[in-house]
Amino acid sequence: MMNYVWLFLVLVAVIIGAISGQIKEVTEAAFDTASSAVEIALSLIGIMTLWLGIMKIAEDAGLIKLLARAIRPVSNFLFPSIPKDHPAIGAIVLNLSANWLGLGNAATPMGIKAMEHLQTLNEKKDTATDAMIMFLALNTASITLIPMTIIAVRTGLGSGQPTAIIGTTIFSSVTATITAITVVKLIQAFSRKRQPAGIAEDEKRDYSFLLRAGIYAAIFALLLFVLIRLNVFQFIATYFPGAFFRQAINAVSIWAIPVLLFLIPLIGIIKKVKIYEVFVDGAKEGFQVAVRIIPFLVAILVAIGMFRASGAMELFVMLVSPLTELIGMPAEILPAAIMRPLSGSGALGIITELLKTHGPDSFIGNLASTLYGCTETTFYVIAVYFGAVQVKNIRYAIPAGLIADLAGVLAALFICRQIFL
């Protein structure tokens, strides 16, 4: 799948660039993004070295197994192929938790560690397993509880209610996550070989759990919709004196990582782990992992850079805008929605410009802000995580991720039209 996506981006970029007379810009973009990809990978060395060392302490202290046991009912459904108490489950939980809290610097190393654990269970080392694809889908449609980056941008641009998009972001990102799980589970169920007697027992359990999960998700979505409709999130944000709510959010972002850096080694000492030696042993992987992902990052970022520089993005927006207008999506939002799965920084730049032009508290401003928090940079995540374990055949990871992204965008449009119009 990735072969065709990469070829499509490069070919379209060259053809459109030649037609539009921007072939020079396409060439420059290829070289610039290749350099940027290497810089990004090298900038991860320090962060990955730190967190892989901390993860090793947590693993030797038994914290990873403890986390795996705590969420066993859910993990058995999401990752039936992973053995009970396997360290991959704990690493997955830490990664997803970091994403939920907006701790991107900690999430990536933890996610890479989870992929390394999953790779130990993989019989075909160059092909993605179902567990890997489920994990990637959960990352590309990550639930966002505190969209700190966009809240900071809105605050800087003078928004009267910078936290107003917390509820809409939670709604749309939860919708994207539920969609990701459903799509991956359905693909797995339909692709699984049937036994002569009919559907296997584990498939029956999957369908039963999926039905119950769908019912619970619908109830949760209805409750969340009611809370947002009643302006509960805005009430909480403005009820406390001064900037208490914003300060509380900032405190979580500031203190979460130091607390982890303090507690994990402390628990390691209590468990009689030689924390310094174990940290160094785990941290050794940081540089090797960063070097391994360079070719994958260069490939995807160069293709995306060429695609943007050629003018193909503007052409695509022009072609699909009549369709999006039918569902009430402003044409101005389209570039941000399309860019989000491709480039986080690119999407942030587009959204910041929209907030400046239309105002952070306008409908377009609130919708754009919600879009930024409800989905992830799908292609970047796939390149980094699969690249770290040298998996080249990613199977259906891209369709699952993009369907989840689309669900997040549509959910954001729906909830923002209900609340901000």
pLDDT at 194: 45
Mean pLDDT, residues 275-301: 85
Beta carbons of 87 and 79 less than 8 angstroms apart: no
Q: Which residues pair with 393 in a beta bridge?
A: 127
Q: Whole-angstrom distance between the N-terminal and C-terminal Cα of the chain?
A: 39
pTM for this predicted structure: 0.75
pLDDT at 198: 40
pLDDT of 75 above 50: yes
pLDDT of 253 above 70: no
Mean pLDDT of the residues in the chain: 81
DSSP label at residue 103:
-
Beta carbons of 170 and 144 less than 8 angstroms apart: yes
How do residues 368-420 score in pLDDT, each as one tens digit?
A: 999 988 878 888 889 889 998 999 899 889 888 888 998 899 889 888 888 88
| Least confident stretch, 92-96, 265-269, 284-288, 294-298 | 284-288
pLDDT at 269: 94
How do residues 184-243 score in pLDDT, each as one tens digit?
A: 988 888 776 544 444 444 444 445 545 555 565 566 566 666 666 566 555 555 555 445
Instruction: Read off the pLDDT band of 315 (50, 70, 90).
Output: confident
- CA dist 192 and 179 (Å) reads 20
Beta carbons of 37 and 313 less than 8 angstroms apart: no
Tokens 């459903």, located at residue: 182
How do residues 157-201 score in pLDDT, each as one tens digit?
A: 888 888 788 888 888 898 899 889 988 988 888 776 544 444 444
